[in-house]
Amino acid sequence: MTHMIPDKLTADISEKYKASIRLMPDGLSFWGYIPSEKDSFFIESFTFEPELTVHEALKNVIFSRPCFSYLYQSLHVVCVGGKYTLTPDHVFLEKEKDLLFDFCFPKDQSLKTLIKPVRELNAFILFGVDNDSYTFLLRSLMNPQFIHAISPLLIAWQKKSLQVFHKLMHVVIHRRSIDVLCVEQGNLLFANSYDYENSNDIVYYIMYLCKQTGIDQLEDYITISGDQELCRPVLSVINTYVKKSNYFQQKLMNNQVVSAHDLTPDIIALIECEL
């Protein structure tokens, strides 16, 4: 089922919607919903022209629809992929964010370093976004809030970990990379992302991190989410080693019912956390 941008979404009622732009290297998805209105969720995806720079392709999409110029109840720009690092808030100094980010990653003048506090974990996320795209979106959108896709996942799975007595590892499988989080009773034990070439690489990362974080093969939990075709071969192997491993899928978000195909873990987490 496809939920296109509805005709009723106009400047007159846009402030009722919570909306997000999910920005990826090869395109974007624009989605939103009215919290008090059942089945108001919509999502529409746009693919960037490969012959254009990301900035040029982004401009074409943003200028193609008037809805991108509306004022919303909230508007997140969710940056998917890209470089990020977590820093405990007791050692974080905003004036040193660029120095810290450059220390963690090779210096790249094309990136703008952004910060997002994660109060639930007493930490800050530092992440890089294309500087030209950032400047353009800041100028073109009404009060956008820039976050990394890992941010809502950290908050959602930190809350879920409070509901179990054992460690919880969550793996999000994308087309070219995976995100891995490990939490225990509200405490973040591990968070990182890895590029991979095949499912064997993913299995290796998961099993290695199980050893590093002390995952108990009988008592602790591993959940895997993402495209089912990518997750299935990984889960079939992990199931033989970790008893409580499963595929995470959710179709009902508050009062919004959408098809599983439309959902990504960070979209679910944003709605669950009501960010």
CATH code, domain with 64: 3.30.420.250
Assign 2 a pLDDT band (cuts: 50, 70, 90).
Answer: very low
Q: Which of 161, 141, 158 is nearest to 150 (CA)?
A: 158
pLDDT of residue 59: 94
Collect all residues with Cβ–Cβ distance below 8 Å to 3 and sequence separation of at least 6: 31, 41, 42, 43, 44, 258, 259, 262
Given a cut of 70, whether residue 12 has pLDDT beyond it is yes
> Does residue 173 share a domain with residue 132?
no
**One domain for residues 236 and 180:** yes
For 128, the token pair is 């890089």
Q: Are 122 and 88 in contact (CB under 8 A)?
A: yes
Of residues 97 and 49, the one with the higher pLDDT is: 49
Q: Confidence band (pLDDT; 50, 70, 90) for 207?
A: very high
CA angle 254, 259, 263 (to 5 degrees): 70
Residue 274: other Cβ atoms inside 10 A: 9
The rounded Cα 249 to chain-centroid distance in angstroms is 15
Query: What is the percent of the chain with per-residue pLDDT over 90, rounded to a whole number?
Result: 53
- The residue among 94, 72, 83 whose CA lies nearest residue 20 is 72
- Residue 60 within any structural domain of the chain: yes
Confidence label for 100 from pLDDT (cuts 50, 70 and 90): confident
Domain span including residue 165: 153-247
Does 269 reside within a domain? no
216-225, pLDDT tens digit by residue? 999 999 999 8
pTM for this predicted structure: 0.86
The pLDDT of 67-82, averaged and rounded, is 93
Residues 239 and 187 placed together within one structural domain of the fold: yes
Residue 96 DSSP label: G
Q: Say how many domains are in the chain.
A: 2
| Beta strand residue intervals within 96-238, DSSP E | 111-118, 123-130, 145-148, 168-173, 177-184, 187-195, 221-226
